[in-house]
Structure 1
Amino acid sequence: MQEFDVIIIGGGPIGIACGLEAKKQGLSYIIIEKGTIVNSLFNYPVNMQFFSSSEKLEIDDIPFISKEAKPKRNEALEYYRRIVTSNQLDIHLFEKVTDTIKQGDFFVVKTDKNDYRAKNVVVATGFYDLPNKMNVPGEDLPKVSHYYNDPHYYASQKLAVVGASNSAIDAALECWRKGADISLIIRGPEVGSRVKYWVRPDIINRIEEGSIKAYYNSTVKEIKPTEIVLNTPEGDLTLENDFVLALTGYMPNFAFLEKLGITLSSDPKRLPTYDPETMETNVEGLFLAGVICGGMETHKWFIENSRIHAPIIMKSIGQKLKSTTP
């Protein structure tokens, strides 16, 4: 069984940053990623543009040059891929972690391809894999998706978009511009306040002019093969419908964190326990990095403010290993 100073679970931007810092500290490491390089970004919509400017997405002071101030998905994929390849990071792709067990002073990390041992583990798995379900009848129909990719797919279709944040608003506007008939279902009284500042006026204008129909203070009651039933302030409303994009947000894999022994807060935020000075959890040798630190508050941590986790963690691990070396 191969043994390392640290195993990094997750090959997104923060996992990659952790790998770079591990190399700087002279630590033996591997990054394990269940998909491709920056798998979550790869699964973003094809036309997605970041809220952050390119320099705020940089890791390890490696310049990120983009055509516009705010880069697009394809530019980010190129940037992070080049970092991995040019720095020859030891990253195991398409390898899924199935279990992580603490045995004395070591962790045994089991995957669908191999078993490894490490003195330390960093969990940098993000939150994009588990959508927040609506838990309504018909949510499992083939016409329903919790992920959005390409607007062309919905051209000339009656599309219900559920949500009021960036992903939902971007999808509604893009699909409308490709000819979809959009119904936007918003649980609250208005479009989300955190929608990108250059996009928010666009969606509000499209709603006010009647190009996109918005249903405020409304939720989905039921999804049928050719209809969707809404619960609105005026009562139940049935709309003709071909597809549903339920872009209601995502959550970290709390079951995985709890299985690792990490304590989560009992309130709805489900915040994991960790020391902000080292990012070490209540389990010795187990660290958190990136958006997963925010529990259900997935908007609190993102690339530009969590890239600092990598040097904090690897410096802590390096100092700890030096103190225990005879």
Structure 2
Amino acid sequence: MSQPIDVIIIGAGPIGIACGLEAKKRNLNYLIIEKGPLVNSLYHYPTNMTFFSTSEKLEIDKIPFISNSPKPTKREALEYYRRIATSNNLHINLFEKVEKVEKQNNNYQITSSKSTYTCKNIIVATGFYDIPNKLNIVGEELTKVSHYYHDPHYYSGQNVAIVGASNSSVDAALEIFRKGGNVTMIVRGKEIGDRVKYWVRPDIVNRIEEGSIKAYFESELKEIRENEIDIATASGNLTLKNDFVLALTGYQPNFAFLNSMGITLSDKERKIPTYDSQNMETNQKGIYLAGVICGGLETHKWFIENSRIHAKMIMENIDTLHN
């Protein structure tokens, strides 16, 4: 019988890659498993996205990230993380989904879509981008509705309703407007929020004020049909012609997966998982959390720049126990 792997890292995003680099430096036997392509979540970001953070804040393992502008693009980030993974010959299995984690004596057995593994430790670095926050309204299941936005050209000449006022919502609204789409924003709050990128916020505010983009504040989307939508506004209910709905209402971690491993919540209202802030180990011995997943529903609190340190914290703890 082969020896169990020292650590399996679930998720090959920037933080998962950082964990792999740290494991390699410590001569630990490791494997990174990713259900999609390398840096899967980042790959599914909007085509023209520019990061809020500057390139040096996205660096991992002190490897320089050189970008054309201070704030790198999605394309530059994909290139950066890919080159790190390939040049360091990291052990990564792509397009392999982890389906089950079971305790097996003092180890864990991981069953994936392609194989079965035994390991001593697990790091969950799966982020939060896979499960959208649903509106739970009539018509949300229609094909015209998407919880993800990619490219503005697709919506040229179309009546597009965008739900939300996050960075992704604002970027989509501006890009689609500039590609000839007729954009309507539906926003629960009273205004465009302060979390919107500071260099973008004046642009969206001005486009709304001049009427190029229509925005309904303190409003909710109530029903979606093939050719129209119903909105509840502060002034009453409206029915608008509509071709597409982008429900960019945020995302959340896979809590069912965490629960299946026996990981509890330290804060049930915000769904923050239980973990030791000194070494990132959960209430399940040998299972660690890294990256955005640590924040539960508060996905805006953890980023690459403030969670990349998790890799070193976790591997120091595993290395100590291993030796």
TM class by smaller structure: over 0.9
Letter in 1 for 2:27: G
Secondary structure of 2:8 counterpart: strand
Partner of 1:174: 175
Q: How many correspondences in the alignment?
A: 322
Partner of 1:189: 190
Distance 2:214 2:264 in 1: 43
- How far apart are 1:267 and its partner, in Å? 3.4
Name the TM-score, length of structure 1 as normaliser: 0.98
Partner of 1:218: 219
Letter in 2 for 1:90: H
Letter in 2 for 1:132: N
Q: Output aligned runs, 1:1-326, within 5 Å.
A: 3-265=4-266, 267-322=268-323
- How far apart are 1:266 and its partner, in Å? 5.1
Letter in 1 for 2:198: Y
Moved more, 267-276 or 146-155: 267-276
Q: Give a deviation string over 1:146-201, Cα, whole Å, max 9, x none.
A: 00000000000000000111000000000000000000000111112100000001
Distance 1:293 1:306 in 2: 9
Secondary structure of 1:59 counterpart: coil
Secondary structure of 1:5 counterpart: strand
Q: Give a deviation string over 1:126-160, Cα, whole Å, max 9, x none.
A: 00000000000000001000000000000000000
Q: Give a deviation string over 1:99-150, Cα, whole Å, max 9, x none.
A: 0111121010110100001000000000000000000000000100000000
Tell me the C-alpha RMSD between the 2 structures.
0.8
Name the TM-score, length of structure 2 as normaliser: 0.99
**Contact 2:5/2:29 (CA < 8 Å) preserved in 1?**
yes
**Contact 2:267/2:273 (CA < 8 Å) preserved in 1?**
no
Instruction: Provide runs of 4+ in structure 1 moved above 4 Å.
Output: none
- How far apart are 1:231 and its partner, in Å? 1.1
- How far apart are 1:265 and its partner, in Å? 3.7
